[in-house]
Amino acid sequence: MPIRLALIGCGRISRRHVLAMKDLQERGRGDFVVTAVCDANPQAASERADMFEELLGRRPVVYGTHEELLASARVDAADLCLPHGFHHGIAVDCMEAGLHVLCEKPLGITIKACRTMIEAAERTGRVLSTAAPHRRQPGQRTVKWVFDESGLIGRPLSFFHQYRSSAVLPAAAGQADARPNPSQLWGPQAGDSGGPLPEHKRWRRDRLMSGGGPVLDSGFHYCDSLRYFFGEVETVYAVLQSVKSGMPQRFGDAPEDTVFVTLTFKNGVTGSWAWSLAAPGEEAYDVTFYGSRGSLRDTTAAPFSIFHLFQRTPEKLETARLESSDGSVYNMKQLEAMHRASLSEEEEEFLYPGGATDGFAIEIWEFLEVLRGNREAPEIDGREGMRSLALGDAIYESGLTGDVVLVDDVLDGSRSVFQDPIDDHWGLS
Ligand SMILES: NC(=O)c1ccc[n+]([C@@H]2O[C@H](COP(=O)([O-])OP(=O)(O)OC[C@H]3O[C@@H](n4cnc5c(N)ncnc54)[C@H](O)[C@@H]3O)[C@@H](O)[C@H]2O)c1
């Protein structure tokens, strides 16, 4: 019998989940069925149900609350695409009701929220997986292969990542919304001129519902990718500011738009992540990873490239490149081909089921395979998702206190100044 899924939260990113399911179906991996959708906004739920009907051939039953869904829908698992503050409560309710859970990043709104989810998974024996597509895509799999297996540039030493643009500053005449970029999520345009903010911006501006600004939201991807490449981070020192007013302010209530972070890893790697969305004048993007015998570099900015490393865009496949100290040079296209050629048939199918390269399709497929008993555990299970969140929260902890912060202290709860008000709000103790 096909696995029966419910989609809970039918906003922006859930669209990508439907397209990913369509992709899986087209690759002959459609052995699942979405029987229910749920959203507090009836229009959003109804539109998503229509989309399922049109693309996957079956209209799920629409619910307005997850409680109604859990009381009457016949489902095995839930795919949660909700504002961060609702992740833990609804995930726990789902698991208590017997459902396995695939939860959008960040796993929980705080470390305590994550622990609540992990404990529920262990108590109920349900699978808990964190939906985070980037490390699962060929770009980052290739980077990992370069360092761990290729021998092309030796062991990782350091990285330097810079991004500077004026995205959150008032746009010049005729330029507003000219291109997709992070300002659409955290920037000032809609709403700041007096109109109401759209829902997807409203909750992101409320720290009690979002858990933080860009560093915690899309930054979760960045933190997860760094951990994937280089292992656990030991210390973080961060300066975060909101400068879009034109006057630098200490990191406070406004979402950060200018960030300087220095990281040390337990294996000796060091790195810096420095970016601003409030830097008028010349734009710049440069991410370079250094190994003991060469470098891997990407200088082509793409939407969200502050957070999404080595994305597989046609341009980056040509321009991102490895340069070895023996003089050899390869672009990402060649490196990806070498990585793919190094895989056995089983490994290729494991990483890229049916040739899929979309991280959303891969994460959903992986989740289904765990439920079927074909895989032991999700790659980013509850604990792994919590560790990636701890890095983001350590950045805030440092930004707020000015201290060098041990990520382990954030993970074990001994440092939580930034998270305390959020935990208090949600009654997490
Ligand atoms: N993987 C990625 O690249 C990526 C990208 C964007 C967002 N996300 C994540 O996806 C999640 C959702 O983000 P989004 O951008 O789709 O937000 P969104 O605001 O567009 O959608 C959230 C939806 O949840 C609904 N909702 C709110 N409370 C609810 C409740 N109690 N019960 C049922 N429905 C409820 C809202 O009505 C809305 O339709 C977040 O965790 C976000 O971080 C992931």
Q: What is the pLDDT of residues 394-427, one digit of tens each?
A: 999 999 899 999 999 999 999 999 999 999 999 9
The rounded distance, in Å, linking the Cα atoms of 152 and 137 is 21
Residue 387: per-residue pLDDT: 98
Residue 204: per-residue pLDDT: 87
As to burial, measured by CB atoms within 10 angstroms (0-12 exposed, 13-18 middle, 19+ buried), residue 47 is middle
Which portions of the chain are predicted below pLDDT 70? 170-196, 200, 245-254
Owner of token pair 């046609």: 314
The rounded distance, in Å, linking the Cα atoms of 98 and 371 is 13
* CA-to-CA separations, 316 to 263, 311, 321, in angstroms, rounded: 26, 7, 9
CATH architecture of 136-347: 2-Layer Sandwich (3.30)
Please identify, by atom number, the ligand 1 atom nearest to the C-alpha of residue 10. 39
Distance of CA 401 to the CA centre of its chain: 25
Residue 95: per-residue pLDDT: 98
358 lines ligand 1 (CB under 6 A): no
Please say whether the beta carbons of 77 and 367 come within 8 A: yes
Token duo for residue 341: 């050629």
257 lines ligand 1 (CB under 6 A): no
8 lines ligand 1 (CB under 6 A): yes
Please identify, by atom number, the ligand 1 atom nearest to the C-alpha of residue 86. 31
- At the topology level of CATH, where does 3-132+358-380 sit? Rossmann fold (3.40.50)
363 lines ligand 1 (CB under 6 A): no
- β pairing state of 233-242 and 156-164: unpaired
Residue 330 forms beta bridges with which residues?
Answer: 322
Please identify, by atom number, the ligand 1 atom nearest to the C-alpha of residue 41. 37
How do the domains of the chain map onto residue ranges? 3-132+358-380, 136-347
Ligand 1 centroid distance, CA of 12 (Å) = 7
Residue 178: per-residue pLDDT: 44
Its sign, for the CA torsion 178, 181, 187, 190, is positive
**Which residue's CA is minimally distant from atom 31 of ligand 1?**
40
The rounded distance, in Å, linking the Cα atoms of 268 and 290 is 13
10 lines ligand 1 (CB under 6 A): yes
- β pairing state of 284-291 and 294-298: antiparallel
pTM (two decimals): 0.94
* CA-to-CA separations, 170 to 179, 244, 280, 306, in angstroms, rounded: 14, 9, 10, 20
Nearest residue to 201 via CA among 181, 187, 221, 215:
187
pLDDT digits (tens, 9 = 90+) for 326-337: 999 999 999 999
Mutate to test the pocket of ligand 1, among 104, 136, 362 (most ligand atoms within 8 A of CB): 104
DSSP state of 361: H
209 lines ligand 1 (CB under 6 A): no
**Which residue's CA is minimally distant from atom 7 of ligand 1?**
13
In 160-257, which ranges are continuous DSSP H helix? Answer: 183-186, 189-192, 199-205, 207-210, 219-230
Residue 171: per-residue pLDDT: 59
13 lines ligand 1 (CB under 6 A): yes
**Which residue's CA is minimally distant from atom 19 of ligand 1?**
200
15 lines ligand 1 (CB under 6 A): no
Residue 196: per-residue pLDDT: 67
Which residues of 64-215 form beta strands (DSSP E)? 77-80, 100-104, 128-131, 156-164
Ligand 1 centroid distance, CA of 203 (Å) = 9
